[in-house]
Amino acid sequence: MRRRARTTVLATALVLAFTAGPLAAPALAATSADATAFAAPASAAPASEGQHGGPDVAALEKALEGLPDKDATSAIVRVGGKGSWHGSAGVRDLRTGAKALENARFRAGSTTKAVTAAVVLKLAAEGRIDLDGTVQSYLPGLLTDAFEPITVRQLLNYTSGLQGGKSLGDTVDEEYPHRFETLTPEEVVASSVAKGPRHAPGAAQHYGNIHYLVLAMLIEKVTGDTYEHQAAVKVFKPLGMRHTSFPDGPDPRIHGPHNRGYEDMDGKLVDVTEWNMSDRWAAGDMISTAADMERLLVGLFSGRLLPQPQLKEMFTVPDVPGARYGAALERFEVNGREIWGKTGARPGYHAVLAATRDLSRTVVYSVTATSAKEDGLALAQRFAFPAFNS
């Protein structure tokens, strides 16, 4: 049924290392030519006027100043709701110094989970999936007898008790030599099952990709279709997300206009743009644009995509100690406001979608961050939090 390859794909590892020394802002501007390129001004649209309590434009503009710097080589930010603003800054490619693209496609990482949850909940609204139905009934034979019945809802809100599965490394440095290899989602799930349960279903919340890999398998079993096509017809097409897609199995490229991603490895910037993300699948291998992510955010929160009973699931945090996630989305507070959103991180790329429940403020960004998987909070504080300052 699925189109993903089962063979291992290998390619020669090409490391683009900038040897000017540790990654500090002065070292980036090593030559006069570089200094000119790196000083490319931010492209920004003014905040809409006549709106009370609009975004903190001064802070947003300051966040984009000086890119590229030690934390990121480019950034795209879109703010909406009561007052809108958008801007971009930095470079598309460190070798050429070309200005960053505001319409760039990027690896959206775990924001993919919001799409997967939406597909499952649409199928639930259609009566094709019962959220109280079990993995054991939908996917017989997937789990061993060591597992108690796990419901679809428990997969959605990360309380299934499944443990994380096999990976190609615990850090970007460990993963990098294997970036063109293929680890299938089936292998990841099988290795998780082999470990046995972490805890009884519903007893605790542990965020992880594994829950959403199983959900994608369930989507395919119920529909007789690929997860990718279901995401396209149930989410992308209805919301007009024309520039959002998934890689063709192990294809490591980002097709279409994009800003290149770099990772700081031992004080050197390494180009990590090309990377086989097939093991992340429905949990994290989506490619999108900031404008499309904004369409997803608004389409979800407004109820355009899901009926209210199913939409409510996305904002329902289970009653277990320390829980902060609903179905895909995380609840947090910024400047006294309750915000719901999702972060996504892949090597070289960090993304965020977040909004107040009533859509009075929304923010989406893509940052080509030099430590994308490590500095999520610092990046959000810089590029997202100013949207909620007033």
All domains in the chain, ordered by first residue:
43-388 (3.40.710.10)
Q: Identify which of 13-17, 43-47, 379-383 has the greatest average pLDDT.
A: 379-383
Provide the token pair at 91: 């470079």
Least confident of 29-43, 186-200, 239-253, 297-311: 29-43
Average pLDDT, the chain: 88
Least confident of 18-27, 179-188, 199-208: 18-27
The whole-angstrom distance between residue 335's C-alpha and the CA centroid of its chain comes to 24
pLDDT digits (tens, 9 = 90+) for 73-97: 999 999 999 989 999 999 999 999 9
DSSP state string for 47-65: PPSS-TT---HHHHHHHHT
Residues 6+ apart with CB under 8 A from 312: none
pLDDT given at position 6? 28
Q: Parallel, antiparallel, or unpaired for β 287-288 and 106-107?
A: antiparallel
pLDDT band, very low/low/confident/very high, at 376 (cuts 50, 70, 90): confident
Picking from 274, 249, 97, the residue whose alpha carbon sits closest to that of residue 183 is: 249
**Residues designated catalytic:** 110
pLDDT digits (tens, 9 = 90+) for 196-231: 999 999 999 999 999 999 999 999 999 999 999 999
Position 310 pLDDT exceeds 50: yes
pLDDT given at position 27? 27
Q: Which amino acid is it at 96?
A: T
pLDDT given at position 23? 32
Picking from 238, 252, 146, the residue whose alpha carbon sits closest to that of residue 198 is: 146
